């Protein structure tokens, strides 16, 4: 116990002696006279007189700077203050006095009230910002503002901006409440369209996720933008760049929940959403949605929704919905729907539907339907319905519609304005009663076919699809070639027969809506059915001159039809 107490006593004695020694070094008196001498030499003389040495980083201050000093019997602390100012701290270690930078930061406040110069009324939502330090705030509904600043050598210049007012730049004294009067502009209406990309912040999503202050500040500072390497944000306004984030274009932007900035020239990632006032270059990814007021050149990915209010040149991918004002050589992929107002050589693939208002597209693929109101639709493939204002390629769907077409529509029903739409009632060597619906264009149309033979021992049902192409011979005569593939019912739905027919036809147009058709046919028939019962026959062409080919039979026949068109 005695040894422990003795050791503790020695430890305390050492601490006290070191503290006293440090105080003695700074309180020692020296006399120095120097005229335009190097700072390092003067410090060396101070140390020699005090009987100690200085220790410091050579980059801490300029050792070669010339100083002048004349003191008599003053403390070392006083001399150091005269030479170095109050930017440094001094620490005693043995016989060394260590010079360290005083890292204690000083802050001060600037505050005031923004007033209308002509009316004296308080101005709400005016932006007060420092362009150098990138600090900003806004006036409240009483026109008052307050901003906390770090003390620096240079005096900051503040700019006051408000939509409809002239900018005012001034020095605001620290820790004083000042009145700042700003002058209204004579023509206010011109300010409304000062920012061509204001649609994002004024959209439905923008109005609900961005505060009125943020949106107002964005409008106030519409001509001021800064490029910086990075920013991190929790939500819009809670950013490493503060309220001035609305005017900053970042290389890397990380938004934990959501963020709002001027633009991206690199990568932006958000847990929930990104809102960008101007343009995005390279990559933008969000858990729910991206909203861009300008253009995207690169890749945009969202779990729910992407919205580009200018031009997309690249890839837009979302789980539900994509929108862009204009597609320029772009690809849109969506789980449900893609929409663009203006397309140039663009591609759209969606689980439900694709829509193009104007322009031209290369490809539209949708699970349900495609709509293209522009000049040229190249390829449309849909599970149900395709619409094109002008079709220049082909459509594949159950129902296809085009206002005009220089391509081909392939489906059950193909409706083209001023195209081919006809019903016909015909008879041929197999069935005396056959209905046909033809739709498309004269150079390519499809045929829906249903036929019936009621005769006992020759009963037969036929149904199928065909394609055809028509050539004009004169004002009253057309020539066409049609090919069809039909199924035949002969008492068993599980064993339908196959009937293939090639038929050149001559069409005589009696009137605008009435025509008569005739021509030869070449048929190939095959059936895997082995058991037949009256009134069906095993071979529907057994009464016709025919030839057996493999498992099938071929023959020549003919047809006559009456056709109605509209």
Same-domain pairing of 397 and 306: yes
Looking only at the bridges linking them, the beta strands covering 552-565 and 514-526 are antiparallel
Same-domain pairing of 97 and 111: no
Domain boundary among 52, 74, 101: 101
Nearest to 303 by CA among 263, 341, 257, 334: 334
Same-domain pairing of 424 and 405: no
Q: How confident is the model at residue 531, as a pLDDT?
A: 72
Q: Which domain holds residue 387?
A: 223-411
For residue 15, is it within any domain? no
Q: Specify the higher pLDDT residue, 74 or 105.
A: 74
Q: How confident is the model at residue 3, as a pLDDT?
A: 46
Same-domain pairing of 320 and 464: no
Beta strands in 225-336 (DSSP E): 226-235, 238-239, 248-255, 258-261, 263-270, 273-276, 280-286, 289-292, 296-302, 305-318, 321-328, 331-334
pLDDT at 20 > cutoff 80: no
Q: How confident is the model at residue 551, as a pLDDT?
A: 82
Q: Which of 253-262, 464-473, 532-541 has the lowest mean pLDDT?
A: 532-541
| CATH number of the domain bearing residue 43 | 3.55.50.30
Q: Mind listing the pLDDT tens digit for each residue in 268-298?
A: 999 999 999 999 999 999 999 999 999 999 9
pLDDT at 11 > cutoff 50: no
Q: How confident is the model at residue 103, as a pLDDT?
A: 67
Q: Mind listing the pLDDT tens digit for each residue in 362-378?
A: 999 999 999 999 888 99
Same-domain pairing of 393 and 294: yes
Mind spelling out the 3-state secondary structure of 530-560? CCCCCCCCCCCCCCCCEEEECCEEEEEEEEE
- The mean predicted confidence, pLDDT, of the chain is 89
pLDDT at 493 > cutoff 50: yes
Q: Mind listing the pLDDT tens digit for each residue in 49-61?
A: 988 999 998 878 8
For residue 555, is it within any domain? yes
Q: How confident is the model at residue 197, as a pLDDT?
A: 52
Instruction: Give percent of the chain with pLDDT exceeding 70.
Output: 93
Same-domain pairing of 295 and 367: yes
Q: How confident is the model at residue 124, as a pLDDT?
A: 95
Which bin fits 234, alpha (ψ -120 to 50), beta or left (φ > 0)? alpha
Q: What residue spans of 154-308 are helical by DSSP H?
A: 204-209, 212-220
Q: How confident is the model at residue 199, as a pLDDT?
A: 58
pLDDT at 325 > cutoff 70: yes
Same-domain pairing of 115 and 168: yes
For residue 379, is it within any domain? yes
For residue 138, is it within any domain? yes
Q: How confident is the model at residue 530, as a pLDDT?
A: 72
Looking only at the bridges linking them, the beta strands covering 546-549 and 444-453 are unpaired
User: SS3 of 117, please?
Assistant: coil
Q: Which of 141-150, 234-243, 397-406 has the lowest mean pLDDT?
A: 234-243
Which range, 177-181, 199-203, 225-229, is most confident?
177-181
| Alpha carbons 284 and 263: distance in angstroms, whole number | 11
For residue 217, is it within any domain? no
pLDDT at 492 > cutoff 80: yes
Residue 167 bridge partners (DSSP): none
Q: Which of 221-225, 248-252, 317-321 has the lowest mean pLDDT?
A: 221-225
For residue 195, is it within any domain? no
Q: How confident is the model at residue 203, as a pLDDT?
A: 83
Report how many domains make up the chain.
4
Same-domain pairing of 90 and 135: no
pLDDT at 523 > cutoff 90: yes
Report the alpha-carbon angle 244-248-254, nearest 5.
95
Res. 113 pLDDT band, cuts 50 70 90: very high
Same-domain pairing of 37 and 73: yes
Q: Specify the higher pLDDT residue, 565 or 88.
A: 565
Same-domain pairing of 70 and 151: no
| Alpha carbons 378 and 238: distance in angstroms, whole number | 47
For residue 151, is it within any domain? yes
Domain boundary among 369, 393, 411: 411
- 456-463 mean pLDDT: 86
For residue 484, is it within any domain? yes
Res. 104 pLDDT band, cuts 50 70 90: low
pLDDT at 321 > cutoff 50: yes
Domain boundary among 367, 385, 411: 411
Q: Specify the higher pLDDT residue, 353 or 84.
A: 353
- 326-344 mean pLDDT: 96
- Kindly compute the dihedral angle of the four CA atoms of residues 348, 354, 355, 359, in this order, to the nearest 10 degrees: 20
| Alpha carbons 289 and 427: distance in angstroms, whole number | 61
pTM, entire model: 0.72
Q: How confident is the model at residue 241, as a pLDDT?
A: 82
Q: Specify the higher pLDDT residue, 315 or 215.
A: 315
Same-domain pairing of 264 and 361: yes
Q: How confident is the model at residue 423, as a pLDDT?
A: 97
pLDDT at 302 > cutoff 90: yes
Q: How confident is the model at residue 533, as a pLDDT?
A: 73
Nearest to 292 by CA among 266, 310, 305, 315: 310
Q: Mind listing the pLDDT tens digit for each residue in 386-422?
A: 999 999 999 999 999 999 999 999 999 999 998 999 9
pLDDT at 9 > cutoff 60: no
Sign of CA dihedral 313, 214, 131, 257: negative
pLDDT at 256 > cutoff 90: yes
| Alpha carbons 158 and 87: distance in angstroms, whole number | 26
- 432-436 mean pLDDT: 97
Same-domain pairing of 394 and 536: no
- 534-544 mean pLDDT: 76
């Amino acid at each position: 116990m005695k040894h422990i107490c003795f050791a503790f006593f020695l430890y305390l004695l050492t601490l006290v002696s070191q503290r006293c020694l440090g105080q003695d070094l700074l309180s020692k008196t020296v006399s120095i006279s120097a005229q335009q001498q190097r700072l390092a030499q003067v410090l060396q003389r101070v140390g020699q007189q005090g009987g100690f040495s200085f220790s410091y980083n050579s980059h801490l201050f300029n050792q070669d700077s010339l100083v002048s000093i004349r003191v008599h019997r003053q403390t070392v602390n006083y001399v150091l203050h005269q030479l170095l100012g109050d930017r440094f701290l001094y620490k005693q270690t043995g016989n060394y006095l260590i010079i360290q930078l005083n890292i204690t930061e000083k802050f001060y406040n600037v505050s005031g009230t923004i007033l209308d110069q002509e009316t004296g009324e308080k101005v709400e939502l005016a932006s007060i910002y420092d362009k150098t330090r990138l600090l900003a705030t806004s006036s409240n509904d009483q026109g008052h503002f307050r901003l906390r600043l770090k003390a620096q050598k240079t005096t900051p210049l503040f700019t006051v901006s408000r939509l409809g007012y002239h900018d005012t730049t001034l020095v605001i004294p620290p820790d004083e409440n000042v009145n700042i009067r700003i002058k209204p502009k004579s023509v206010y209406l011109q300010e409304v369209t000062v920012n061509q990309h204001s649609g994002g912040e004024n959209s439905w999503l923008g109005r609900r996720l961005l505060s009125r202050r943020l949106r107002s500040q964005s409008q106030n500072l519409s001509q001021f933008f800064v490029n910086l390497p990075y920013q991190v944000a929790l939500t819009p306004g809670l950013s490493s760049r503060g309220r001035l984030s609305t005017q900053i274009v970042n290389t890397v932007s990380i938004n934990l929940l959501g963020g709002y900035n001027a633009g991206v020239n690199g990568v932006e990632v958000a847990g929930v959403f990104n809102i960008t006032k101007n343009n995005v270059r390279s990559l933008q990814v969000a858990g729910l949605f991206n909203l861009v007021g300008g253009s995207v050149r690169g890749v945009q990915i969202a779990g729910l929704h992407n919205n580009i209010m200018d031009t997309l040149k690249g890839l837009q991918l979302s789980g539900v919905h994509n929108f862009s004002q204009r597609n320029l050589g772009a690809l849109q992929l969506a789980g449900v729907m893609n929409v663009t107002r203006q397309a140039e050589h663009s591609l759209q693939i969606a689980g439900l539907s694709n829509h193009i208002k104007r322009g031209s597209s290369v490809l539209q693929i949708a699970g349900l339907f495609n709509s293209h109101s522009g000049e040229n639709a190249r390829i449309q493939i849909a599970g149900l319905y395709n619409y094109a204002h002008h079709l220049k390629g082909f459509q594949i769907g159950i129902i296809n519609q085009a206002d005009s077409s220089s391509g081909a529509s392939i489906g059950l029903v193909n409706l083209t304005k001023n195209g081919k739409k006809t019903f016909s009632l015909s008879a041929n060597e197999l069935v005396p009663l056959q209905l046909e619906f033809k739709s498309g264009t004269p150079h390519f149309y499809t045929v829906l076919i249903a036929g019936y033979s009621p005769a006992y021992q020759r009963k037969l049902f036929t149904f199928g699809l065909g394609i055809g192409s028509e050539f004009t011979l004169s004002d009253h005569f057309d020539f066409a070639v049609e090919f069809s593939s039909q199924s035949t019912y002969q008492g068993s739905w599980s064993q339908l027969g196959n009937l293939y027919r090639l038929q050149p036809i001559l069409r005589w147009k009696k009137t605008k809506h009435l025509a008569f058709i005739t021509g030869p046919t070449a048929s190939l028939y095959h059936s895997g059915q082995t058991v037949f019962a009256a009134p069906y026959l095993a071979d529907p062409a057994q009464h016709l001159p025919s030839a057996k080919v493999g498992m099938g039979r071929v023959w020549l026949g003919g047809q006559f039809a009456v056709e109605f068109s509209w």
